[in-house]
Structure 1
Amino acid sequence: MQAQNIIFPAQILRGPGVISQLGDICALLGKRALVIGGHQALMAVGDKIRHQLEGCAVELVGSEWFGGESSESNITRLAKVVKDKKADIVIGVGGGKSLDTCKAVGVETNVPVVTIPTIAATCAAVTPLTIRYHDDGHFRDLFPLPQAPAAVIIDSAILAAAPLRWLAAGLGDTLAKWYEFRAISRHNGQLSGVARSSSANSRICYDLIESCGPAACDAVRAGKPNAELDQVLDAIFMFAGLTSLMSSGAHAAASHAIYEGFTVCDKTREFGHGLLVGFGNLCLLALENRSDEELMEAIRLAHACAVPLRLSEIAELNAGELDSIVKASLHAPDMENMPEPVTAGGLYEAISRVEAMADLLDA
């Protein structure tokens, strides 16, 4: 049996207002904290963090922008800041790229990391993995880490205040856990216990989003957390994270490959990881030759969760730009996980079928 290293975050706090426990958590980890995050995230929670640390005798030694990309140069730069300031805790705030950067900085400096997602766009807050990009935003690689965050703070009051598109991105990315795992595992024969756990968690992700996703979107539209939002946040962070942890991240297929294709185009690169994955989910179902009924069911759910259904909802692309996206998708590492080879013609047909079915939704 092949050896497998399964790494879990040490502590996850969830629910409205749990950022109030940040100071107590950090006091157990160290005495000098450096906050790293995106500009908007730092503005959204910076004062709360400062107040929490002051109350627990943890010194805030600085606040740094993560750099805009989870790139090797930003990781190296911020690791130097941690060392220069003698920080013994990193507090990461923001979305996936920011948190991925912070996790890698923690590994580089051997410092514990506390993650505070301010948008619910991916499960990056909990996983021992950094998705690295080049400085220009092009996808580089998946970079496994030897440690997960020391603590994760999933505060639904903070997340309810974020724009809806970021929750939609989290829903699209989390639905991929089920769609992609199913696409890969149904051709792999008997599943091991660990793989069964990953499969079960990915199915929980789907079920929670199907039942609670639309109402969770309503909560974000209103800017106030509700029970359905908390359930959906469990799916996005905990159950999606468990899916990744228990499968060592090896569960991605065409949905993520299509996202990786979108990163080569200037018009689509910054649209949002999970939103692009969400569109890729629908293309994956079409590539699998799922029935019209099943594809329409997925389209309805995606629509209720504010996930794009057409290329035109992402960007106006000319033929050359779409061709570059398709070619990059086919050469993305995740496309190799598909049980059958995917061709350019097959991907074009899948996109056309999804868009035609989406038009029926409006009819």
Structure 2
Amino acid sequence: MVEALPSLLPILAIAPAQLLRGNGILSQLPKYLSRYGNKALVIAGEKAKQATASHFGNTTLEIIYAPAIADCTDANLAILRQIVQQEKPDVIVGVGGGKVLDTAKLIAHQSQLPIATVPTTGATCAAWTALSNVYDEQGAFAYDVTLDRCPDIMFVDYDAIATAPKRTLVSGIGDAIAKWYESSVSSGSSQKTMVIAAVQEARILRDILFQKSAEAITNPHSDAWREVVDASVCLAGAIGGIGGASCRTVAAHAVHNALTHLHQTHGTLHGEKVAYGILVQLRLEEFQGNQLATTSRHQLLKFYEEIGLPTSLTDLGLNQVTLAELEQIAAITCQPNSDIHRLPFTVSPSQVLAAMVSTTSPITATV
């Protein structure tokens, strides 16, 4: 009798092994890093490097700084792998925004080294997740890599995050709130316990952001501000960890990824493009006769205007975009490997194009 092979469900990387939060906790960075060994390789942008340098002044830990990077690209990854081979660090430390953190996580994954993440803005949940997005040399999204685990330790220093421009947290709100609109449409009818839990967490996340975002961006360091930072940096990441890929990225992120192929969008932040992508996704749902999507879109339009998220192509700086460029973006959005195919209905490039140019359509518009 042949024994049946074990059935392995998808492995979930849910959360960092340790999460440290508080004001001024970067002072504890050397103590925790020393648990992994005697040498740390710090991957950071120039400003983020300055934010952490003072905390390494009185430590026996040997600190190696990698050259400052701006994007997670194959070329930068190759340079960093060479540095790892030469320096043989015991731990990788990523300090900065989403692209720097994605780079550090991927290098640690490829080198099989521990990884510590230090977000310096509230713009994304990259410090939390077991995922890295890789871009080409022109700044366009190329591919993503699923990592074998979330970071070993994550530091959320509210003092450091408070020094970032307000726009970064607004962008983080746009990225985080997408978790509800994407997970609910792709997985809202799931009967799987972990997915149900993730979708409900996404609903709670949305409600927190609706209730507290306006106060948070007006009053940094307030209780509301701290809760919104936690929602954007931590809870958004946990939802994707618990629910899996379909609770992370659907049409809104597919639109973001396609938009990165237009150089005119490189001045806008990740969450700003994702926020616009949510409106595109809701329009696509409206094309299916979903009246709830119409109500949701207009609720979001009001929210976006209140806190400063883009509602249209013009808001993204694309007021001079050509029809040919929009057709290209719509086609990229619908490529075979696109996350848009996690929608429960088929979408064509022409529908995406129609949705992209009608994100602010009045509620009385016929669909």
Unmatched segments (≥5 aa) in structure 2: 1-6
The answer to whether structure 1 residue 263 and structure 2 residue 267 are counterparts is no
Q: CA deviation at 1:63?
A: 4.0
Identity of aligned residues (%): 27
Check conservation: 1:213, 1:304, Cα contact below 8 A. Answer: no
The answer to whether structure 1 residue 4 and structure 2 residue 6 are counterparts is no
Question: What residue is the counterpart of 1:313 in the other structure?
Answer: 315
Q: How many residues align?
A: 348
Between the aligned partners of 2:347 and 2:182, the Cα distance in structure 1 is 14
Check conservation: 1:263, 1:269, Cα contact below 8 A. Answer: yes
Q: CA deviation at 1:253?
A: 1.3
**SS of the residue aligned with 1:24?**
helix
Q: CA deviation at 1:207?
A: 1.3
Q: CA deviation at 1:262?
A: 0.3
Between the aligned partners of 2:329 and 2:312, the Cα distance in structure 1 is 15
Stretch deviating more after TM superposition (289-298 or 127-136): 289-298
Between the aligned partners of 1:77 and 1:59, the Cα distance in structure 2 is 20
Q: CA deviation at 1:76?
A: 2.2
Question: What residue is the counterpart of 2:185 in the other structure?
Answer: 183
Between the aligned partners of 2:36 and 2:204, the Cα distance in structure 1 is 32
TM-score between both structures, scaled by the size of structure 1: 0.90
Residue of 10, 21, 25 corresponding to 1:18: 25
Check conservation: 1:171, 1:305, Cα contact below 8 A. Answer: no
Question: What residue is the counterpart of 1:57 in the other structure?
Answer: 60
**SS of the residue aligned with 1:35?**
strand
The 3 A distance-change label for structure 1 pair 204 and 51 is: same
Q: Cα deviation per residue 1:283-314 (whole Å; 9 max; x = unaligned)? A: 21121114443321111112223210111111
Between the aligned partners of 1:121 and 1:214, the Cα distance in structure 2 is 16
Between the aligned partners of 2:323 and 2:102, the Cα distance in structure 1 is 33
Question: What residue is the counterpart of 2:229 in the other structure?
Answer: 233
Between the aligned partners of 1:165 and 1:51, the Cα distance in structure 2 is 26
Q: Cα deviation per residue 1:122-166 (whole Å; 9 max; x = unaligned)? A: 111011111112222221112011132111111122112211221
Between the aligned partners of 1:254 and 1:349, the Cα distance in structure 2 is 14
Q: How does 1:134-283 map to 2 (within 5 A)?
A: 134-186=136-188, 189-219=189-219, 224-251=220-247, 252-283=249-280
Q: Which amino acid aligns with 1:141?
A: Y
Stretch deviating more after TM superposition (287-296 or 193-202): 287-296
Q: CA deviation at 1:255?
A: 0.4
Q: Which amino acid aligns with 2:24?
A: G
Between the aligned partners of 1:3 and 1:249, the Cα distance in structure 2 is 13
- Runs of 4+ residues deviating >4 angstroms: none
Between the aligned partners of 2:159 and 2:149, the Cα distance in structure 1 is 28
Q: How does 1:72-151 map to 2 (within 5 A)?
A: 72-151=74-153
Q: Which amino acid aligns with 1:23?
A: P
Unmatched segments (≥5 aa) in structure 1: none
Question: What residue is the counterpart of 1:334 in the other structure?
Answer: 339
Q: Which amino acid aligns with 1:30?
A: G
**SS of the residue aligned with 1:122?**
coil
Question: What residue is the counterpart of 2:4 in the other structure?
Answer: none
**SS of the residue aligned with 2:106?**
helix
